[in-house]
Structure 1
Amino acid sequence: MKYKLIALDVDGTLLNDNHELTEQTKKTIQEVSRTGAEIVLCTGRGPQNSIPFMEEIGLKGYVISHNGAATVDVVTKEVVHQFAMDTKAIGPYMDYFREKKVHFDVNTAFRMYVDNVDGMVVEVRSMYENFLMLPANLPPMQELGEPVVKVTAFDYADVLDKVHEEIGKWTPEFNILRSGEYFLDLMHPDASKGNALKQLAKRRGVRPEEVLAIGNYYNDITMLTFAGLGIAMDNSPLEVKAAADEVTASNNEDGVHAALLKYCLS
């Protein structure tokens, strides 16, 4: 068995554009798991809306959630590692988002908060429904009682382009990255999918050359370059394909199935 740890992004990779896990891809992942390889989901989602996919496939182990900011045990729901943000430093960013009328949410490992749940516009509410999440109202930061691991802004792509450009000029306090066309994430400077995957591989006694990773967006580049074999989906931006070792079919063409068949089951 060449690859002992296999990291799969979720949206745009594991799931098709209808947010569905196809039966073919599910069966192939189960077959790879039976060979002894460990499957880990490595996603921008939180554990509460990524662990159900592990359970559907019948897998134990871990999910690397919030773009690497929190790693969680699938069975016990224990947070085995997280990168906590400086909550005082988050304030100016939230003020900026409010001033620009850019929607944002604040995430702890298992919880998500927004300014006003009842006041969310239809497009925003629909987005959360697609991702199987329902946020709660944000209390004062000092009352959260657990570390904040990610703040996500959600808006049109051109709006986020400008936001990214503007806050990118501030004193660098966070890792700021695009996790999707309509999403911009703020995290601890050390938080990334690649860093979290590196820590998990070390914990599991797996060498980098024994890791295979599949992803489709800019937030996947760190894990694609860490892995011994990094595979980009055909629906990836050119920069992501350039960072990968190989390119598989798109998420609407069961690209994960094709890659696992070629590199793990042939």
Structure 2
Amino acid sequence: MEIKLIASDMDDTLLNKDCQISPRNEAAIRKALDAGKIFLIATGRMYVSVRPYAQKLGLDVPLVTYNGALVKGSLSGKVYYEHKMKLPTANEVLAYCREKGYYLQLYVGDSILIKQENDCSRMYTKISGIQTTAIGDALYHTDEEPYKILVMTKSEEFADVWQQFKEDFAGKLDVTSSKDNFLELMEPGVNKWEAVKSVAASYGVQPQEIMCIGDSNNDVKMIANAGIGVAVANAKDSVKQNAKIITASNNDDGVALVIESILTPQAAE
């Protein structure tokens, strides 16, 4: 089976602890491109946070962002599709978070809206490179459909909060996570795999010809369904259990190692 398309998560997968693409990872991606492979970034991040990395790599492909809620060209800026959260659901979630006292980030357009700056927002800006916009209590009502809502909790409360969202918004939201205290809320049916599969189909690539690489809960569906699902060594156990291959960690060029392995003459046989 020839792998024709490679889709990689960013944080804690393609990026190292310094939020950088290592020289070896970059070289491997360029070799894959030279060999005619398609390389996609599939992330929970917003488009404007991903685009600089894609441009550095010279990727002229659709970028899977917001966990698949927006697929947009890295160079062209063309919107391939959007799948935003319905307004009634978004406002119900905002009211719910206000009542519970949860810290949340509302992703509208190219902006991250918050109530007020705090340690959570500063930490997120450090990771993403994107400044948040504080709007006070206006945060708790939106007139524009968001791509997603991110809720941050204390690590020890995370599992309970996740379960409560799943129960209270059953059928209204897809709930997943990208880090131990990042709860990602999207419109039902929105996930990285559906977006990657759609992009692949536009290139005439079948699911069995896709390799997906990731580390966290929002990567499970694409890793479980791809022809070759790959977990980095630092991935969560739930991700490893769904992977066909476990590569090295994000700090040890795991993405490069698995890409190099499919570029060998033996892999093409």
TM-score by length of 1: 0.92
Deviation of the 1:200 alpha carbon? 0.9
Is 1:2–2:8 an aligned residue pair?
no
RMSD: 1.7
Per the alignment, residue 153 of structure 1 pairs with: 151
- Which structure 2 residues correspond to residues 77-226 of structure 1 after superposition, within 5 A? 77-116=77-116, 120-138=117-135, 140-142=141-143, 144=144, 147-172=145-170, 173-226=172-225
What is the distance in 2 between the residues matched to 1:239 and 1:126?
26
Is 1:46–2:46 an aligned residue pair?
yes
Deviation of the 1:99 alpha carbon? 2.8
Is 1:73–2:73 an aligned residue pair?
yes
What is the distance in 1 between the residues matched to 2:113 and 2:38?
32
- Give the aligned length: 260
Amino acid at match of 2:229: G
Deviation of the 1:156 alpha carbon? 2.0
Per the alignment, residue 240 of structure 1 pairs with: 239
Amino acid at match of 1:126: M
What is the distance in 2 between the residues matched to 1:33 and 1:211?
14
Matched-pair contact (CA < 8 Å) for 1:105–1:152: yes
Deviation of the 1:41 alpha carbon? 0.1
Matched-pair contact (CA < 8 Å) for 2:91–2:142: no
What is the distance in 1 between the residues matched to 2:55 and 2:34?
15
Deviation of the 1:181 alpha carbon? 0.8
What is the distance in 2 between the residues matched to 1:221 and 1:136?
31
Deviations, residues 31-70 of structure 1 (Å, cap 9, x unaligned): 1111111111000101101111111112211210011111
Amino acid at match of 1:151: I
What is the distance in 1 between the residues matched to 2:26 and 2:103?
34
Amino acid at match of 1:150: K
TM-score by length of 2: 0.91
Q: Percent identity?
A: 25
What is the distance in 1 between the residues matched to 2:3 and 2:18?
29
Amino acid at match of 1:193: K
Amino acid at match of 2:14: L
What is the distance in 1 between the residues matched to 2:109 and 2:204?
25
More moved, 167-176 vs 189-198 = 167-176
Deviation of the 1:137 alpha carbon? 3.8
Amino acid at match of 1:141: T
What is the distance in 1 between the residues matched to 2:29 and 2:223?
19
Q: For 1:11, what is the secondary structure of its paired residue? A: helix
Matched-pair contact (CA < 8 Å) for 1:13–1:251: yes
Deviations, residues 202-250 of structure 1 (Å, cap 9, x unaligned): 1111111111111111110111122111111111111111101111001
